[in-house]
Chains A and B, each alone.
Chain A
Amino acid sequence: MTTTPKLVIDNVGKVFSTKSGQVVALDRTSFSVEEGEFVTILGPSGCGKSTILRVVAGLEEPSSGHVYLDGKEIKGPGPDRGMVFQSYTLYPWLSVKDNITFGLDLKGVPKKQQDEIAFHYLDLIGLKGFDKHYPIQLSGGMKQRVAIARALANDPQILLMDEPFGALDAQTRTIMQEILLKVWEESKKTILFITHDVEESIFLGDSIYVMTARPGRLKKNIKVPLPRPRDYQNKHSEDFLALKLELLDLIREESLKAVNP
């Protein structure tokens, strides 16, 4: 039986024009993501990994190639692809609950149903009782959890995450990863997750794409052999550590290239 993948990235490349000429941010790249799969993209900073995500989100037009979601070509941003950014993007003038229901309200979903969805996700991200709080009253980790809930409440086909925990401290980040896995297992969403953190890419992903330094290219695809569901103790297993060493080597090579081109 052959099924079409959820997301197909076909020969996507991105060239930026600058004053000093053309810069290839992303070399022609192809890969696909299956329904319900958690895919992480690991790369050194400035390798164009965010560019892939922004093209999939429709926020950036590719210079070449196409992206297909459920077989349909992506032409611009839309609510079928939820996005969580590294920077905090909650609407500061809306309460936590109104942030979560923002997309639903745009669609004209009845208030009662909006409330049900909001409280469901508040519960899921562990922020029950925070519905009336404003973003300024939340910690960084809480803000990102609400941002995840806001994206999921819209029931997107795929969740795009651009280093969402990059600005958080190490301890909070670990906890956020576990919360995200719980949310993913419950919601069964397809997730494309960008990170430069090796442990994060292994702990979260079913499959890891390692990218080269600029110009960004896919260097290697690795399936993560860890069982599901996972918790932080998996981080001490032999499989995890072996994979971590392999990835650290790969990423170090690329980071060196980026530092000494």
Chain B
Amino acid sequence: MWKNVFTPNKDIAKPLYTGAGIATFILLLLFWSILSYGGFVNPLFLPAPDKIVKSAVTMFQSGEIWTDIGISFSRVALGFILAAVIGVPLGMLMGSLRVMQGAFEPIIGFIRYMPASAFIPLLILWIGLGEGEKMAVIFLGTFFQLTLMVMDVTKNIQNELIEVSYTLGAKSFQLFKRVILPASLPGIVDTLRITFGWAWTYLVVAELVGASDGLGFMIMQASRFLKPDKIIVGILIIGVLGLIMDLIFKAIYRASFSWMRKEGS
């Protein structure tokens, strides 16, 4: 059971692996409990674990949190879908046509270093405080990275795979549809999974400034009314939502690309 625990790169027993993960969670919870129940910190700043659970229960029972979750989720989804709908085809073209890479890589490479949150004041001036502004922040935060990552995925297709397709008679359009797209699809799905996680980060940024609903707004309000328990519940909800989306993407990946696994479908 304890074999190889401290040997680099060696596999260990499965229960030991899972147990290590659970132990870390418990340690963190224990540390928190000591701090709060032991009276080392002011409950105004860090409420005790049971207080958080109670707040979460009341928040879900009263139901208003569901509206915030729904609004936040639709903002993330719409902003992100817009970024993906433009970014994925553009990234694929940049990865396969040198002229597209030459045209777009310098500018995208430059803009992606400008923090999306710094655009918020400008976006508010341009499009106001409505839904458009929230989506625009999420779009700006994910689009450029996503496009460059898709470009890399497409560029990394084995060159011989393209060449052999030419010798089998593929023309440019057929090459895109039948070789470049399926070859880069697993990498694209993985890129979407990673960038969707970032989209959540920008959502909170967008909702902290000039929003009147959503999870970010709820967190901001809780801060104003000195309710740290509600802040923590809000943060946990965002974390759980992100985790669920991650698992969904992974499930899609597994279901769609069975040809990548030795045992087949």
Contacts and interface: CB of A to CB of B under 8 A. Distances in A.
Interface of A: 57-59, 76-79, 81-83, 85, 87, 89, 91-94, 102-103, 106-107, 133-137, 147, 150-151, 154, 160
Contacts of B174: 106
B167 A83 contact: yes
SS of B interface (majority): helix
A83 B168 CA distance: 8
Contact of B158 (A81, A89, A94, A102): A89
A2 B44 CA distance: 101
Interface string B161-205: 101111111100010001100110100000000000000000000
Contact of A81 (B167, B179, B183, B257): B167
B167 A78 contact: yes
B261 interface: yes
A147 to B, nearest CB: 8
B262 A82 contact: no
Interface string B6-20: 000000000000000
A94 B167 CA distance: 18
B160 A93 contact: no
21 contacts: A57-B163, A57-B167, A58-B166, A58-B167, A59-B167, A77-B167, A82-B167, A83-B164, A87-B160, A89-B160, A91-B183, A92-B259, A92-B260, A93-B257, A93-B259, A135-B259, A136-B261, A136-B262, A151-B167, A154-B168, A160-B167
Contact of B183 (A77, A93, A137): A93
B264 interface: yes
Contacts of A150: 168
A147 B165 CA distance: 12
B264 A77 contact: no
Contact of B163 (A83, A93, A94): A83
B156 to A, nearest CB: 14
Nearest to B257: A93
A154 B158 contact: no
Contacts, number: 74
Contacts of A58: 166-167
Nearest to A79: B169
Contacts of B161: 89, 91
A107 B259 CA distance: 25
A133 to B, nearest CB: 8
B167 A134 contact: no
B127 to A, nearest CB: 41
A150 B264 CA distance: 21
A134 B259 contact: yes
A77 B172 CA distance: 12
Given A92-B260, A137-B262, A103 B169 contact: yes
A79 B262 contact: no
Contacts of A137: 262, 264
B167 A136 contact: no
B164 A89 contact: yes
Contacts of A154: 168-169
A64 to B, nearest CB: 22
A78 B259 contact: no
Contacts of A136: 259-262
A172 B262 CA distance: 21
B64 to A, nearest CB: 46
